[in-house]
Amino acid sequence: MSKIQMREQKLMELLQNYRRLDIKQVSEWLKVSDTTARRMCSKLEENQKVIRLHGGVQLSEQYLNDYSYHNKEMRYLHEKVAIGKYCASLVESGDRIFCDSGTTVHQFVLSLINRIKKKEIQDIVILSNSLANFDPIADYCKVILLGGEVRLSRLDVCGSISEDVLKKFHITKSMLGADAVNSTKGFMTTDERTARMNEIVLADADNSYVLCDSSKFERSSFISYANPGMITQVVTDWNISDEVKLLYSQMGFSLKILESPKFK
């Protein structure tokens, strides 16, 4: 494979994760000039693999469809990793933490493992309804997996059994995701059972954090589970616009906006 082909393959892999990149990101990640990055994107557009945008590029619809499951799991990975790492830095020894089944919360769990392995914190207990989150961290701290109905589409458990078990515990910090964050409806999810579980957590937790990338803002989902006054902090990424940041601050949302890590 030639150097050009390797660069094109790398760019397609990046776009499968992030869906959209600007030319500066392409040039920095592939270590090429802006001119070379534009030329590469033009060639891929001619082959109908990408769509050129103003100042950037995104996958064409056929490639988005080909990687629909992968994109659901890995979309905005760069941002999710940063959000997860920041939230892991908030954990203190002795915390009892509820982790929901969101993919950004999964990045929190992975970052938390690193802190535990470095012996920065100890005596951590994780409560979770997530089938994806308990496995990687169970070797490093006590994990209580809530019982209930298994939902493979969300890789979690839910229902009355989960809710009854959850009510038995006191939580010092909760890490929640959101399918949408709306300036008037608050934090939203796709189904009432997830909403009910989050409501139970929020009623008990000392501090609650919503971990969501900036694409979730000014969207709507099916049902609200919290208003901004119930959340200690909303942690999001650097792609949020100034207009959205101002609107949500005025509406009472406590926002923690992370800075973009340097590209390597």
Q: Please report whether residue 233 resides in a domain.
A: yes
Q: What is the pLDDT of residue 186?
A: 97
Summarised one tens digit per residue, pLDDT across range 126-153 is: 999 998 888 889 999 999 999 999 987 7
State whether 17 and 144 are in the same domain. Answer: no
pLDDT at 62 over 70: no
Q: Is residue 262 part of a domain?
A: no
Structure confidence at residue 74 (pLDDT): 59
Q: Which of 73, 95, 126 is the last residue of a domain?
A: 73
Q: How confident is the model at residue 264 (pLDDT cuts 50, 70, 90)?
A: very low
pLDDT of residue 69: 28
101, 24: one domain = no
- pTM: predicted TM-score of the whole model, two decimal places: 0.73
Verify that 120 and 228 share a domain, yes or no: yes
List the CATH number of the domain containing 8: 1.10.10.10
Q: Are residues 23 and 94 in the same domain?
A: no
Considering its fold, how many domains does the chain have in total? Answer: 2
Q: Supply the mean pLDDT for the chain.
A: 88
Structural domain boundaries, residue 55: 3-73
pLDDT band at 63 (very low <50, low <70, confident <90, very high): low
Query: Hey, which of 36-45, 48-57, 173-182 has the most confident mean pLDDT?
Result: 173-182
Q: pLDDT band for 68, please (50, 70, 90 cuts).
A: very low
Residue % of the chain over a pLDDT of 70: 91
Q: Say if 235 falls within a structural domain.
A: yes
Domain annotation covers residue 263? no
Q: Are residues 195 and 81 in the same domain?
A: yes
pLDDT of 37 > 80? The answer is: yes
Same domain, 37 and 84: no
Are 58 and 154 part of one and the same domain?
Answer: no
User: What is the residue-wise DSSP string for the chain?
Assistant: --HHHHHHHHHHHHHHHHSEEEHHHHHHHHT--HHHHHHHHHHHHHTTSEEEETTEEEE-HHHHHHTHHHHHHHTTHHHHHHHHHHHHTT--TT-EEEE-S-HHHHHHHHHHHHHHHTTSS-S-EEEE-BTTTHHHHTTTSEEEE--SEEETTTTEEESHHHHHHHTTS--SEEEE--SEEETTTEEEESSHHHHHHHHHHHHH-SEEEEE--GGGBT---SEEEE-GGG-SEEEE-TTS-HHHHHHHHHTT--EEEPPPPPP-
Shared domain for 24 and 91, answered yes or no, is no
